[in-house]
Structure 1
């Protein structure tokens, strides 16, 4: 008998109830410590606790009883250990899936050797996970402290003078955001070598001004949208190891200056998004709508069928029809159309196939964009419509993650940032901002200057610089494109 643990503690650790609970506890703490920006709302925390703790404990108890009743004691011990490893692998499916195939096979081999060759007791696994849970809890505590400190900084950063002007031109405002839609200048050159199938002409016929050389300030959806709605740079300074900015989703989902300013001026605010990617932490608009989809618990993107874009357009239009049309701000976001190239190496079809796939999805994106814009213009006599993408499509790379490796190829760098911008201005607009647009961080400064008929928002414009978060060979935040639209690649610390 193993005497390295006191007998009572060993007996307690051997219970399937304890082992299942510890597996669930470790899984909860692992996901929380690595994805705190996704699950720091109360409802998400309750969901995770219920899913992992109840599921793992129930499976362990049931499995232990079945094995004890049907298999000899030594065989039951081995079978239970394998069951526990299988349960752990299932609960940690998302991070394990990100490992290379050799690493996945190595984990499976370790489980088999642990169980069948070394024949170590199952409770050793429990003890190990308890230590790992303590480490995860410690990391999570540090992240929570940082998040609360950052929340105070965010509250103090908004200049009070921004709230003083009042909207005098009370037009309804629509921000339509197709994912990764590239600008007019870049789509026919560099690695793209395609057209946008007449979208420029279609928009101009409907009163839009198309701005040809626009680029994003940041190269991912969350970071880019945070700068849009905060109207300020953040330089990835609130960046977590998981790759997300603190409170990023909360900011985009309505807890931001743009939405607050509209609501202060009597606007109803609406978020219509294709998936719940932006609203994991709740929604802080007057009204939120997410197109019904099957959502994976472990992060796999839902498959987008060709008719989904049509269903999305119908869903948006029917939702808009139900609400008053006076004084409303509507953010219409489609996180998967046309969408960038594949994110990981394992998903990639290769550079040329990814380019052709993006080209085909442009045509689909045009279909839903045109349907939504037609409906807005049919029902709203003089709207302000902003059609603006979030970041580039990364065409030229084999997969998106390559963009975090430093490159001196200017076409690749521009491919990460190139975005489409077209604005349908109300009839009273005189064109005075047309030569000012360069990056999204300043877009709402010009929009609010027009709506308030003041220059209050223009006194402290942000730099029109695009930033990359580089991981290798020299990690850091780099200014990739400067205010003169030149590719520069300078570490921000050296600027």
Structure 2
């Protein structure tokens, strides 16, 4: 009969830590996307589930050996010895690591999946040879070192964030000023942000596409369209956080890969959000709607948010399709995309539009004012570098632009019919990125652009040029002047407070290229033909 009274403590530690390491590694690179409770679930839940599956595996091994002894082996009995358990735990631990880190392992192999199996088999052979000579201890040390290294990486990222964001608290710099803003007019406000929807000047210069017919139709609904509006920063998070904080951060929060540490907390109201704070103090209810909450983490000031976030969403960091299918079948708002590596999209776009219309009806029927933020994922920008984009790709963008324009018209008409006295804002978050990475090369920025016959003014339009249209109630008029994202709501609050106090804390209307080059591309609504060095205040 096969028996073992208790598991070797080293086996328990090895199996548990084999589940902990992938969780710590992925958390160290993605922790800014998830609130604390989700990160804790990831760190506790992953190794716990791995350990429970390991127990099931050991129990199955026990049953198999028992059956072998009963039915097949007549003279010699075998037992599930401590050494056999150690071998199984080593093999199981490497299998867990390969499975949970499969997308990462595949990317290290240039996207190839065919080499994963032979590499795994080689690891098992080498592991068995090491075990025969050294036992289980080297494997415990190996996984421990990996986990500690990932923890140190995570700690450094957290320290770096605190150093760059907490020092000087750039996003709270205007709080004392904002606390004195009192709104005398309180219409419902709709801030509708479009992904990479650019202005007509940029469309004509970059794509030879004229969007004036759409613009003319929009003006018939009472919208004023401002052509020379530019985002202050060139990707979604860095741009939106400047809009909601009404402060420049000069990419101090940028981490590369178009991410920004702390941005989601500020945009979602977990950190100080200037716009939300002013509106809440003036009696507004706040609602956020999108098909994904990629760009924000909802905090207490937000009264309504869609999609409703499930705590299990954190497990999408593994990018494991089997796990994603299981969780999405049990949690409606976990994720809905069937395509690989699409973890940012987890609610159908049409569902988000339907919810938006419902919430517009709610806002229009309320006696209290509402602020509605809608993040539209379209038309979207290019993911490829400039030299990988063909003329066909350009047409694809303009087709997506046309479809987005239809949504803009449809929603504008719906809002006007439901809420005719609302203040409605359509704005792009940044440019289209047709010339993404055109500046890369051996020379400096200016030299590389010159060699490729691309002028800097064109790149300014491409990276920062944004569509901007606003409809105000009849008794409200925005002040004149160049508008950029960082000052947008200073104009709005000035119009709603009947005085120029909000504009007295105005920031520079300039577009900054990135954190390392320190170049200014646009000043006061004018793209520069020669980008200038940034002079930080």
Query: Normalised by the size of structure 2, how large is the TM-score?
Result: 0.77
Of residues 284, 288, 313 in structure 2, which corresponds to 1:271?
Answer: 288
Paired residue for 2:391? 352
Instruction: Count how many residue pairs are aligned between Structure 1 and Structure 2.
Output: 469
Residue 177 of structure 1 aligns to a residue whose secondary structure is strand
* TM-superposed deviation, 1:423: 0.7
Determine the C-alpha separation between the residues in 2 that align with 1:91 and 1:342.
26
Paired residue for 1:217? 232
Of residues 309, 315, 318 in structure 1, which corresponds to 2:358?
Answer: 318
* TM-superposed deviation, 1:100: 5.0
Determine the C-alpha separation between the residues in 1 that align with 2:267 and 2:536.
30
Paired residue for 2:142? 128
Contact 1:217 1:465 in 2 (8 A): yes
Change (3 A) 1:493 1:110: farther
Residue 185 of structure 2 aligns to a residue whose secondary structure is coil
Paired residue for 1:206? 221
* TM-superposed deviation, 1:413: 4.5
Residue 330 of structure 1 aligns to a residue whose secondary structure is strand
Paired residue for 2:514? 469
| Rg (Cα) greater in structure | 2
Residue 161 of structure 1 aligns to a residue whose secondary structure is helix
Whether 1:161 and 2:206 are equivalent positions in the alignment is: no
* TM-superposed deviation, 1:184: 1.4
Change (3 A) 1:165 1:80: closer
1:97-119 C-alpha deviation (Å, 9 max, x unpaired): 54452787777655433322563
Residue 385 of structure 1 aligns to a residue whose secondary structure is strand
Contact 1:392 1:419 in 2 (8 A): yes
Contact 2:291 2:351 in 1 (8 A): no
Paired residue for 1:458? 503
- Please list every run of 5 or more consecutive structure 2 residues that lacks an aligned counterpart in the other structure: 1-6, 66-77, 320-340
Change (3 A) 1:337 1:156: closer
Paired residue for 1:426? 473
After superposition, the CA RMSD in angstroms is 3.6
Whether 1:301 and 2:342 are equivalent positions in the alignment is: yes
Whether 1:385 and 2:385 are equivalent positions in the alignment is: no
Contact 1:218 1:467 in 2 (8 A): yes
* TM-superposed deviation, 1:67: 4.5
* TM-superposed deviation, 1:38: 1.8
Determine the C-alpha separation between the residues in 1 that align with 2:89 and 2:209.
57
Paired residue for 2:75? none
Contact 1:229 1:251 in 2 (8 A): yes
Whether 1:486 and 2:525 are equivalent positions in the alignment is: no
Change (3 A) 1:115 1:316: same
* TM-superposed deviation, 1:235: 0.6
* TM-superposed deviation, 1:248: 0.6
Paired residue for 2:30? 35
* TM-superposed deviation, 1:42: 2.9
Paired residue for 2:493? 448
Contact 2:268 2:297 in 1 (8 A): no
Query: Normalised by the size of structure 1, how large is the TM-score?
Result: 0.82
Matching of residues 402-441 of structure 1 within 5 Å: 406=445, 407-408=448-449, 409=454, 410=456, 411-430=458-477, 432-433=479-480, 436-441=481-486
Contact 1:196 1:362 in 2 (8 A): no
Contact 1:441 1:462 in 2 (8 A): yes
Determine the C-alpha separation between the residues in 2 that align with 1:108 and 1:469.
41
Residue 186 of structure 1 aligns to a residue whose secondary structure is helix
Change (3 A) 1:127 1:243: farther
Of residues 22, 33, 36 in structure 1, which corresponds to 2:17?
Answer: 22
Change (3 A) 1:227 1:279: closer
Contact 1:197 1:363 in 2 (8 A): no
Contact 1:217 1:224 in 2 (8 A): yes
